[in-house]
Amino acid sequence: MTGLRRLVGSWLSALALCGLPLGAAVAQTPGAEALARDTRLIPYEVNVNNAQTGSWVLLERQGKLYASEDALAEWRLQRPAPVLAIDYRGQNWYPLAAIPGFQATPNPSEQSLDLRFAPAAFAATQLGGGGAARTALSPVEPALFVNYDLSYTDTSTAQTSGMRDLGALLELGAASRHGVLTSSHVGRNLNSSDTTQQPSWVRLETTFTHDVPERQASLRLGDSVVRNPTWGRAVYFGGVQLGRNFALTPGFITQPLPTLTGMAGAPSTMELYVNDVLRQTSNVPAGPFVVNNFPLLTGAGEARLMVRDVLGRETVIDQPFFYSASLLEAGLSDWSVEAGAVRHSLGMLSDDYGERFTAGRLRRGLSRQLTVEGRFELAENTRGAGAGVAASLWGQTLGQLAWNGSHTKDSGDGNEWMVGLERRSLKHGITVRQEEASRDFRHIGLLPGTLPYRRQTSASYSYASGSIGTLGLAYAELETYDRGALRTYSANYGMRVGSRSSLNFLATSVEGSSSGNSVAVQLTIPLDRQLVSASNVTQHAGQTDAYTGASRNLSGDTGVGWRALAGSRSDQSYAEGGVYYQGDRGLVSADISESAAQQTVRIGAQGGLVLMDSRLFASRRLQESFALVEVPGYAHVGVGFQGRVLTHTDADGVALVPRLLPYQTNSIRLDPAELPISAELDSIEMTAVPAARSGVKLVFPVRSGRGALIKIVLADGEPAPAGAALTLLGDGKEFFVARRGEAFVTGLQPRNVLRLHWGEQTCDMDITLPPGSPDDIARVGPVVCQGVQR
């Protein structure tokens, strides 16, 4: 539409320049006729604040320039008041002089016009923002899976010949489009040489989870944990839980992000520095701009915007910022409700459930600086409710305040309160927090006869400097009603040694119901090939422990890791070592430790099993999502994602790829170096968006068969015409004849029918390949095409 208006405008202006009438007069009065004669449309090549905008038609009346609404919108100029507009030929035209900072410099020889306006006259440019996009989920493929962690230990001492024990941690799971059901169990003393220890299996947690990504909510049935607000304690329970789950939209940011603003007088380059580190570079047009895709950080700091225009002029804008994960964006809510029975002795008993209850919590961001929250608890013997607030205070400080009250039949009324302050900057970090509860305060999960903590106090200070290192000081006090108080003081200092090494000092003092002091020094030296050397000396309880060792940690890929150390502990020499191998189907480990008093050997294995699409796969532990990948007919082809090969296809061309990121786009890629030359794929990469801990199925479309160079001649012996189309019957792929009647055709079987198309003529040819391997390229022909003429 804009282009059409420009064309029509240019045509009309041309008529005007030639002296031809532009249409009916604006008015029939002499004054109106004179005004119409003084009005004309002129086409220009327009530059706005040094930016080329293309060809536009402007209206000139009595020496003043007017622009259409379309032009102002594309130039991002804020439109003057409608009352200033004039109507010409059914279209509104707006005076450019009414826009702040207007200057016009015509160039008649080039029929161009340079316009300049004040930066504030432009609409603001938004850099980033828009929220996290939600991607459609891939269909869930039903699957059963098992995660296992096995450990066998053999220990011998000077008094015993050996103690053997076998332990296991198992997780059983079933995934479908309805959700994921998991049940975890721990086995102890499964093969113990100690006759006093009986074998046992204990159920840990059994949970069914159903996610609703479009509502950012999750439903959990079975064992779970009560979601407490800023204050309170975790309570295990069995029952039902429904609540908000922002993790279902990866990249969704709940905190109020800082908004940085700037102004550019001309098209410019903007560089964003956060705490003196370059984080972002963007091109911005003339006018104000807003940076609302600020990198996610926590605490206080300083952002610097450096704006450099096309002439090299620089403008620097410094702006402090502060935000915290304890704050919610204005208008955003986080909530959950639970109902069930409190669970006790998790890990010791399979089904120790107690008091029944109902609980709920709600957090809401009232503004970017203020978040409020509330909670309630209703149990058989306990009633409770509370409220809290988190606010951004002066001096870039986060303040928190909460109060909770309770009532029980036995203890009556009780209350607890919490107050906290937190400030973090590039160099300094300070936190102070105190909680107090009355003797009669009760909350769900507190065992009968157990008193709450009387007072909990914590404070910390940290300082970081690239030149002198890092310093940390901390204090914590826990005071009870019946067991006295316990106070802990700690200090640590770390400094860089050389280019990569670090030296750390740690001192701790404990006073109260138990006491003790310790001082430690640790030197860490990174070496090449992921090797790390570490040495430590610790003084505590009147004795000195020391060790030195080296290790090579496992990476995310397959490979071998190891560790070895030697030193003294409790005035006795000791040594430890271990070897670890991580493959695409699990992890195996072997550890050994020896001292004068005891020798221990431990062997372990971790991994998973998946039953999917009537196939059983061995895999690494399945903590994330997974995909069944089929490359029909191609064995031993590497498959992975994020630039790493995680597994290989089996003899049937099938592989299981673990460690996919749920609710995110995962690019599953084949290793092209391991595909045979005869393999034809439209793409070696496919994408999947799996649900949490669920499986998807991806089938790569592969054309199998051999390739051949076929020479085709017509009935008169002349080569088939170049450009003629060829179709392999039973295969949808199309080929074309090249020079000398030759065509390269792939996907051929031992016997084939090839059809040639030339104009409206066709012919079918029987093609038989000579013996050869799949990677051999055969030469066939000449083959006669009967019935096609040039």
Q: In this model, does residue 131 exceed pLDDT 80?
A: no
pTM for this structure? 0.76
- Residue whose tokens read 């096309």: 310
Q: Please state, rounded to an integer, the average pLDDT across all residues of the chain.
A: 86
Q: What is residue 63's predicted lDDT score, i.e. its pLDDT?
A: 85
Q: Residue 224 class from Cβ within 10 Å (0-12 exposed, 13-18 middle, 19+ buried)?
A: buried
Average pLDDT of the segment spanning 231-244: 88
Euclidean distance between the first and the last CA atom of the chain, given in angstroms as a whole number? 48
What is the pLDDT confidence band of residue 388, given thresholds at 50, 70 and 90?
very high
Share of the chain above pLDDT 90, in %: 46
**Cα–Cα distance measured from residue 290 to residue 285, given in angstroms and rounded to the nearest whole number:** 12
- For the domain made up of 706-785, give the CATH fold: Immunoglobulin-like (2.60.40)
Q: What is residue 295's predicted lDDT score, i.e. its pLDDT?
A: 61
Q: In this model, does residue 778 exceed pLDDT 70?
A: yes
Contact by Cβ (8 Å): 363, 328:
yes
Higher pLDDT, 203 or 234: 203
Q: In this model, does residue 129 exceed pLDDT 60?
A: no
Q: What is residue 264's predicted lDDT score, i.e. its pLDDT?
A: 81
pLDDT, tens digit (0-9, with 9 covering 90-100), for 696-749: 999 988 777 778 899 999 988 889 988 899 988 877 778 999 888 999 988 888
Helix (H), strand (E), coil (C) string for 25-40: CCCCCHHHHHHHHCEE
Q: What is residue 17's predicted lDDT score, i.e. its pLDDT?
A: 36
- For the domain made up of 260-323, give the CATH fold: Immunoglobulin-like (2.60.40)
Q: In this model, does residue 269 exceed pLDDT 80?
A: yes
CATH 3.20.20.100 fits 2-123, yes or no: no
**Cα–Cα distance measured from residue 698 to residue 676, given in angstroms and rounded to the nearest whole number:** 20
Q: What is residue 6's predicted lDDT score, i.e. its pLDDT?
A: 44
Q: What is residue 1's predicted lDDT score, i.e. its pLDDT?
A: 41
- Residue whose tokens read 């209206």: 59
What ranges make up the beta strands (E) of 613-750?
Answer: 615-619, 625-630, 638-641, 644-648, 654-660, 666-670, 680-681, 685-688, 695-699, 702-703, 706-714, 725-728, 734-736, 742-748
Strand partners, 460: 431, 474
Q: What is residue 36's predicted lDDT score, i.e. its pLDDT?
A: 60
Q: In this model, does residue 296 exceed pLDDT 70?
A: no
How long, in residues, is the chain? 790
- What are the structure tokens assigned to 216, written together? 């950012």
Contact by Cβ (8 Å): 398, 424:
no
> Between the CA of residue 536 and those of 511, 519, 565, what are the distances in Å?
25, 11, 11
Q: What is residue 431's predicted lDDT score, i.e. its pLDDT?
A: 94
What is the pLDDT confidence band of residue 133, given thresholds at 50, 70 and 90?
low
What ranges make up the beta strands (E) of 596-694?
Answer: 598-612, 615-619, 625-630, 638-641, 644-648, 654-660, 666-670, 680-681, 685-688
Q: What is residue 18's predicted lDDT score, i.e. its pLDDT?
A: 36
Topology alike, domains 260-323 and 706-785: yes
CATH assignment of 624-703, among 1.10.3720.10, 3.40.50.10540, 2.60.40.2610, 3.30.465.10: 2.60.40.2610
- What are the structure tokens assigned to 670, written together? 């084949």
Range 88-127 burial, b when 16+ CB lie within 10 A, else e: beeeebbbbeebeebeeeeeeeeeebbbbbbbebbeebeb
**Cα–Cα distance measured from residue 79 to residue 558, given in angstroms and rounded to the nearest whole number:** 62
Average pLDDT of the segment spanning 558-565: 91
Higher pLDDT, 290 or 199: 199
Q: What is residue 21's predicted lDDT score, i.e. its pLDDT?
A: 37
The domain locations on the chain are: 2-123, 260-323, 624-703, 706-785
Sign of CA dihedral 338, 344, 349, 353: negative
